[in-house]
Amino acid sequence: MTERRLEEFRMPSLGADMAAGRLVQWLKAPGDRLARGDVVAEVDTDKGVIAVEVFTEGVLAKILVEPDEKVPVGTPLALIERGEGAPAEPVVPPPPAGAPAVRERVRVSPLARRLAAELGVDLATVPGTGPGGAITREDVEAAARARPARPAPTEPAEERHARMRQAIAAAMARSKREIPHYYLSTRIDLGRAMEWLAGRNRDRPPAERLLAGALQLKAVALALREFPDLNAWWVDGRAVAQPGIHPGVAVSLRGGGLVVPAVHDADRLGLDALMRAMHDLVARARAGALRSSELSDGTITVTSLGERGVDAVFGIIYPPQVAIVGFGRVVERPAVVDGAVVARPVVTATLSGDHRASDGHRGGLFLARVEQLLQEPERL
């Protein structure tokens, strides 16, 4: 006889600023089999509607919270029946490092990728029917059609926006109250990087071009391998180095506010894959189709305000993270090269660090490593 046991699937915490969420709809029904990473429900948070994943295998046994109910973080939403012999594990942990890399190997036609970005379809959830399991345009269109229509929001846009501002205010006020920030900045010569980028993009169609932001993000991710004290969470009075490098990328929403979805294992992605991940996250952030793990897994934040003409940004750390990296605009400045004054494209990179987890010396070494990596863009 097989022993069955029930586990609670709870309202996840999708960031330090989330206290409760409203269940929008269930995407699975009692009796449905669940695999790790399956999206089972949509939850409305202060940061928009999020697709909530499950990280256990089993069968959805019973739904405990009905659509439109708002419940605090940690409230059981459903019961999942697991079979005997399944490894004991929490029901809502972050996915293991490496899971996104598996998704990265999925073959996707360029047309399908572009369409998915336009429609806000998460390619990780699309079964491929093309040669070798490749995801085709038809697969993406079918996934978009099959997506259940989301109930229209009843809350006016102004109130949603006000709620998001309140959530950001609460998280940032907590950060400033609890975290002793230190701030560093360094000016980085991007001459080689920009030259390499222009050559790299010259003969490629727009869909395959890289942005300078991808180089900066990759340089940060690679540097973090040597600075685990900055790729950490502050938990129970101590810094806990995180096993994966999942930088959260600040994405401004077109209606106002921002979200910071994480790029999983950014240090292990090639530049092309990293750029695709950034395209995908921005499109889904704005379409309201982010996954819960993308909002809960960030191990550091990278923000860029250079597009708005800002020279440097000194960010506020997003708890439980212990650091935030900022990039300003790329601008030509006079520099002395081989004894001559020449114009060079430069960017100001900054680090706001949690002094409980690291100190300025480590932060300075980290920024120096980022600068060093950006001098060899072909190796990123």
Catalytic (active-site) positions: 355
- Residue 213 touches another protein, criterion: CB under 8 A: yes
Cα–Cα–Cα angle for 197, 199, 204, nearest 5°? Answer: 95
Question: Can you read off the two tokens belonging to residue 141?
Answer: 């269109």
Q: How many other C-beta atoms are found inside a 10 Å radius of the C-beta of residue 133?
A: 11
φ, ψ for residue 348, nearest 5 deg: -95, 120
Which of 145, 177, 202, 361 binds another protein (CB under 8 A)? It is 202
Q: Cβ closer to another protein: 235 or 258? A: 258
Q: Output the smallest distance, CB 261 to another protein, in A.
A: 13
Binding residue for another protein, selected from 147, 192, 279, 356, defined by CB under 8 A:
279
Closest among 224, 222, 323 to 269, alpha carbons compared:
222
Question: Of the candidates 25, 109, 186, 252, which one interacts with another protein according to CB under 8 A?
Answer: 252
Q: Which tokens go with 100?
A: 């996104």
Applying CB under 8 A, does 282 fall inside the site for another protein?
yes
- The reply on whether position 209 binds another protein by CB under 8 A is yes
| 87 upstream amide cis, omega within 30 of 0 | no
Residue matched to tokens 């930088």: 247
Single out the segment in contact with another protein by CB under 8 A; choices: 66-74, 120-128, 197-205, 262-270.
197-205
Q: Does 160 bind another protein (CB under 8 A)?
A: no
Considering only residues 255, 270, 334, 360, which one is a binding residue for another protein as defined by CB under 8 A?
255
Q: Least Å distance between CB 357 and another protein?
A: 30
Contact letters for another protein, residues 105-134 (x by CB under 8 A): ---------x--xx----------------
Q: Does 254 bind another protein (CB under 8 A)?
A: yes
230 scored as a contact of another protein (CB under 8 A): no
Which listed range, 56-64, 123-131, 143-151, 205-213, lies at the site for another protein (CB under 8 A)? 205-213
- In the chain, which ranges are E strands? 4-10, 20-26, 33-34, 39-45, 48-53, 58-63, 70-72, 76-83, 181-189, 232-235, 238-241, 247-249, 251-252, 258-259, 290-291, 300-304, 323-327, 331-337, 340-354
Q: How remote is the C-alpha of 102 from its chain's centroid? A: 17
Task: Supply φ then ψ for residue 240, to 5 degrees.
Answer: -115, 110
CA-to-CA dists, residue 213 to 83, 190, 257, 305, angstroms: 45, 12, 20, 11
Listed in sequence order, the DSSP H helices in the chain are: 99-104, 110-119, 137-146, 157-178, 191-202, 212-224, 271-287, 292-296, 360-374
Query: What's the min distance (Å) between Cβ of 184 and another protein?
Result: 25
Residue 328 interacts with another protein (CB under 8 A)? no
Smallest gap from Cβ 36 to another protein, in A, equals 30
Which C-beta is closer to another protein: that of 155 or that of 307? 307
For position 69 contacting another protein by CB under 8 A, the verdict is no
At residue 130, the 3 state secondary structure works out as: coil
| 137 part of the interface to another protein, by CB under 8 A | no
The correct pick among 140, 193, 212, 302 for binding another protein (CB under 8 A) is 212
Q: Give contact residues for another protein (rule: CB under 8 A).
A: 114, 117-118, 198, 201-202, 205-207, 209, 211-213, 252, 254-255, 278-279, 282-283, 307
